[in-house]
């Protein structure tokens, strides 16, 4: 599986897995996204104090697990003790094992200093062809010799910046994914994946505008809008 080939066929992206059904950034959430038709799964990564990339959007587990543990100052052993029912915090390696051969994966780096460890794990898992490193931070992507994408949420957009960085895709907030912006990105050879779309009307507009992918919390609903 090659991620760029997948994007050419247009994709539904499970945002943090399938959070409408399962706790975000967990293995059950990834499994749910895959089983309900996601083409790509997006996850967020933090690196523990002992250098292990794990899945978490926030620095702490307060919002997701109800505990104040800071992932970045805790060891992997401490993070692994945290449970919420059947949910635990997975490592990036565990997430890649679940996704391998089944879906593509976008791996969002929240802190630029985490990039070397994330890239190392991707290479160790031989996942280079079906993953992309993505980030809001240019410095997290600079010099990365893998598929990569720039995420942004403020006008006027970052398409030209992404091209200069050597990116393969851009990931704008859906409000910035206009017909003009999508066409401009395509002229520069960049795929476009918009986030986070949970209603059919917006999804239909984006597909009609030629978007390459839509990230969503509700995989099934947006899957139904994808052009056949």
Q: For residue range 46-96, what is the model confidence (pLDDT) as tens digits?
A: 999 999 999 999 999 999 999 999 999 999 999 999 999 999 999 999 999
Q: Is the pLDDT of residue 228 over 90?
A: no
Q: Considering the domain boundaries, does residue 12 fall inside one?
A: yes
Domain count, the chain: 1
The mean pLDDT of 129-134, rounded to a whole number, is 98
Q: Considering the domain boundaries, does residue 162 fall inside one?
A: yes
Q: Considering the domain boundaries, does residue 36 fall inside one?
A: yes
pLDDT over 70 percentage in the chain = 100
To the nearest whole number, what is the mean pLDDT of the chain?
98
Q: Is the pLDDT of residue 106 over 90?
A: yes
Q: Is the pLDDT of residue 111 over 90?
A: yes
The mean pLDDT of 1-30, rounded to a whole number, is 98
The mean pLDDT of 144-158, rounded to a whole number, is 97
93: burial class by Cβ within 10 Å (0-12, 13-18, 19+)?
A: middle
Domain coverage including residue 7: 3-223
Q: How many CB atoms lie within 10 A of CB 82?
A: 17
The mean pLDDT of 219-226, rounded to a whole number, is 98
The region that residue 166 occupies, defined by phi over 0 for left and psi between -120 and 50 for alpha, beta otherwise, is left
Q: Considering the domain boundaries, does residue 194 fall inside one?
A: yes
53-65 pLDDT, tens digit per residue, is: 999 999 999 999 9
Which residue has tokens 């690196």?
47
Could you give the CA distance from residue 98 to residue 160 in angstroms, rounded to a whole number?
34
Q: Considering the domain boundaries, does residue 96 fall inside one?
A: yes
Q: What is the CATH number of the domain that holds 197?
A: 3.20.20.190
Q: Considering the domain boundaries, does residue 228 fall inside one?
A: no
Q: Considering the domain boundaries, does residue 140 fall inside one?
A: yes
Q: Considering the domain boundaries, does residue 112 fall inside one?
A: yes
């Amino acid at each position: 599986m090659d991620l760029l080939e997948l994007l050419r066929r247009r994709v539904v992206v499970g945002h943090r897995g399938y959070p409408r059904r399962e706790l975000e950034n967990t293995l059950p959430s990834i499994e749910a996204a895959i089983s309900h038709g996601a083409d790509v799964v997006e996850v967020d990564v933090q690196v523990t104090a002992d250098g292990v990339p794990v899945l978490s959007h926030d620095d702490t587990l307060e919002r997701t697990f109800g505990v104040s543990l800071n992932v970045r100052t805790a060891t992997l052993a401490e993070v692994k003790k945290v449970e919420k029912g059947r949910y635990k915090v997975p490592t990036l390696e565990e997430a890649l094992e679940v996704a391998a051969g089944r879906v593509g994966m976008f791996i969002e780096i929240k802190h630029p200093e985490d990039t070397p460890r994330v890239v190392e794990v991707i290479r160790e898992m031989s996942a280079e062809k079906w993953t992309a490193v993505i980030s809001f931070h240019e410095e997290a992507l600079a010099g990365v010799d893998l598929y990569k994408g720039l995420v942004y949420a403020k006008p006027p957009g970052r398409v030209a910046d992404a091209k200069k960085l050597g990116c393969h895709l851009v990931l704008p907030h859906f409000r910035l994914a206009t017909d003009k912006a999508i066409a401009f990105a395509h002229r520069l050879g960049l795929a476009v994946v918009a986030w986070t779309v949970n209603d059919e009307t917006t999804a239909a507009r984006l597909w009609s505008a030629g978007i390459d992918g839509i990230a969503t919390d509700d995989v099934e609903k947006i899957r139904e809008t994808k052009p056949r």
